[in-house]
């Protein structure tokens, strides 16, 4: 009995030491939030038939600049990343990120086709919501992660993606994509237009069939990409995600569902439950 207790305590200490930590000491105002606590059940209770969903809409996805000469690249890939504890919210374009996990978590914002380093990143305390401003005509994604992987200069695409495009009219287009992997749920919604929503919050990382998993750079096992770079499909993880989530709520591949929503004022909200960063 004593040995079992010692092993249990040792395990807890090892787990605690392995948890990611924010860079430096956060200023006091990062430990409070002026945003209402999201209610994911209420958001997801909105009938999808009451709002418009799109196969793609105005979304510009990573890699499309190279494939489509009519799409102009509007940025230079970052050689260093901007850190923020949260941007000032003056009603401009951007997203709120609610960290619904049980500890500090890092979130990394990438421009499309710039995989080596994020443009901007933020650490958020458990239960807190922070705002990240985005520039006009932004095209990119937000993913969860840890600094040791995401700031290493090596691509870490294996993750759930919150994809975002802000078009020339200031409309934000968004979706949750599992095409490049799944390390946990993401719920996105438009709080200014009847809570039109996409994504999921349930835990789907355990119990998948053999062949559904891959390892992130930091050693975490997550669901693998559903599409190879040549467009061929990994059916085992894709079919698991269709079964557990549904293609109407997330991109499981480029061929199923209508998982995109829009926001006319260039803003969306997001909720990130526990995942494997």
Give the domain range for residue 226: 42-272
pLDDT for the residue 33: 79
Longest dimension (CA), the chain: 68
Residue 33 lies in a domain: no
Residue 277 lies in a domain: no
Residue 178 lies in a domain: yes
What residue has token string 């290493």?
152
Residue 160 lies in a domain: yes
Residue 35 lies in a domain: no
Q: Is the pTM of this model over 0.75?
A: yes
Residue 199 lies in a domain: yes
Structure tokens at 136: 């006009």
Residue 87 belongs to domain with CATH number: 2.60.110.10
Residue 172 lies in a domain: yes
Residue 14 lies in a domain: no
* CA pair distance 259, 252, nearest whole angstrom: 9
Would you give per-residue pLDDT tens digits along the chain (277 residues)?
333 333 333 343 333 334 567 877 787 777 777 899 999 999 999 999 999 999 999 999 887 665 565 566 778 999 999 999 999 999 999 999 999 999 999 999 999 999 999 999 999 999 999 999 999 999 999 999 999 999 999 999 999 999 999 999 999 999 999 999 999 999 999 998 889 999 999 999 999 999 999 999 989 999 999 998 888 999 999 999 999 999 999 999 999 999 999 999 999 999 999 999 8
Q: How many domains does the chain have?
A: 1
Burial of 217 (0-12, 13-18, 19+ CB in 10 A): middle
């Amino acid at each position: 009995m004593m040995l079992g207790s010692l092993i249990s305590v040792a395990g807890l200490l090892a787990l605690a030491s392995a948890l990611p930590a924010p860079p430096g000491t956060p200023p006091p105002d990062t430990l409070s939030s002026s945003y209402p606590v999201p209610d994911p059940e209420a958001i997801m209770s909105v009938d999808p038939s009451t709002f418009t969903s799109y196969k793609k809409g105005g979304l510009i996805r990573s890699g499309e600049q190279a494939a489509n000469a009519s799409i102009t690249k509007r940025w230079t890939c970052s050689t260093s990343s901007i850190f923020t504890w949260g941007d000032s919210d003056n009603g401009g374009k951007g997203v709120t990120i609610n960290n619904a996990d049980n500890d500090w978590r890092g979130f990394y914002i990438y421009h499309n086709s710039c995989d080596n380093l994020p443009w901007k990143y933020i650490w958020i305390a458990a239960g807190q919501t922070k705002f990240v401003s985005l520039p006009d005509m932004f095209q990119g994604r937000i993913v969860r992660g840890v600094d040791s992987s995401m700031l290493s200069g090596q691509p870490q695409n294996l993750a759930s993606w919150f994809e975002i495009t802000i078009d020339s009219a200031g409309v934000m287009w968004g979706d949750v994509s599992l095409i490049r992997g799944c390390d946990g749920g993401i719920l996105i919604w438009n709080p200014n237009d009847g809570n039109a929503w996409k994504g999921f919050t349930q835990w789907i990382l355990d119990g998948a069939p053999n062949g559904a998993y891959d390892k992130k750079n930091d050693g975490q096992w997550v669901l693998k990409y559903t599409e190879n770079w040549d467009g061929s499909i990994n059916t085992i993880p894709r079919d698991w995600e269709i079964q557990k989530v549904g293609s109407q709520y997330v991109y499981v591949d480029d061929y199923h569902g209508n998982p995109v929503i829009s926001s006319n004022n260039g803003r969306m909200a997001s909720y990130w439950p526990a995942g494997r960063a």
